[in-house]
Amino acid sequence: MLSSLAAFLVLLVFLRGLYLTVSRFWWRDAGRRPSVRYRKDSHLCPDIVRACTTLTHKYRPPLLWGDSGHIQTAYNVLVGHVFVPSPVGDRQSLSTPDGSTVTYDLYQPQHPTTSSLFFLLCPDIGNCSETFYIRSFVHYLLSNGHNVAVLNHNIVAVAAGFVDGLK
């Protein structure tokens, strides 16, 4: 009798927590219409505000994510880093006159298109072509038929073990 009562209370606490979570992320008010301010004598700003509906209407997020971005962030952290593609590129290195080495990776699409563009990605100083977000973006560009080159920062790539033998 006591164990079934304890199980029932645990179920009630769980359902209450689930209700609070769902009500917090899905059923709350998404906010107000944005307030856009600009100079009254501007000729361009009123046209931009009229043409851009996100500046004149209340934001309605997709039902899947709810009114909060926390669910989308948690999904990307949990699932987005698990299924990161690993595009295969050709690593190139150049020696500069001051004795340093510049490395970059070249990626070519398997099915190039006639309108394919060439993208040069320069990640910030703490990243290289092996980081999650760069690999994901390179995969996206390649799947759309574009050529990609990614500049690598040697100190990051060597410290992470991605490049061997660079001094």
Domain coverage including residue 70: 2-80
Could you tell me if 72 and 34 lie in one domain?
A: yes
Choose one of 80, 112, 135: the last residue of a domain.
80
Q: How many CA atoms lie within 13 A of 58 on its CB side?
A: 6
What's the total number of domains in the chain? 2
Could you tell me if 94 and 73 lie in one domain?
A: no
Decide if 95 is inside a domain: yes
pLDDT, tens digit, 9 for 90 and up, residues 42-55: 888 888 888 887 78
Per the DSSP assignment, residues forming a β-bridge with 117 are: none
pLDDT, tens digit, 9 for 90 and up, residues 12-25: 888 888 877 766 66
Residues 55-88 as b or e (16 or more Cβ within 10 Å = b): eeeeeeeeeeebbeeebeeeeeeeeeeeeeeebe
CB 103 within 8 A of CB 154: yes
Nearest to 130 by CA among 83, 167, 84, 82: 84
Q: Most distant CA pair in the chain: distance in Å? A: 83
pLDDT tens track of the chain, all 167 residues? 568 888 888 888 888 888 777 666 655 555 667 788 888 888 888 888 888 877 887 777 666 666 666 777 777 777 766 777 888 899 998 888 888 888 899 999 888 777 778 899 988 877 788 888 888 889 989 988 899 999 987 554 444 454 454 44
> What's the pLDDT at 106?
94
Decide if 45 is inside a domain: yes
Decide if 85 is inside a domain: no
Could you tell me if 74 and 98 lie in one domain?
A: no
> What's the pLDDT at 133?
81
> What's the pLDDT at 117?
85
Amino acid at 135: R
Decide if 57 is inside a domain: yes
> What's the pLDDT at 166?
43
Could you tell me if 12 and 74 lie in one domain?
A: yes
Decide if 152 is inside a domain: yes
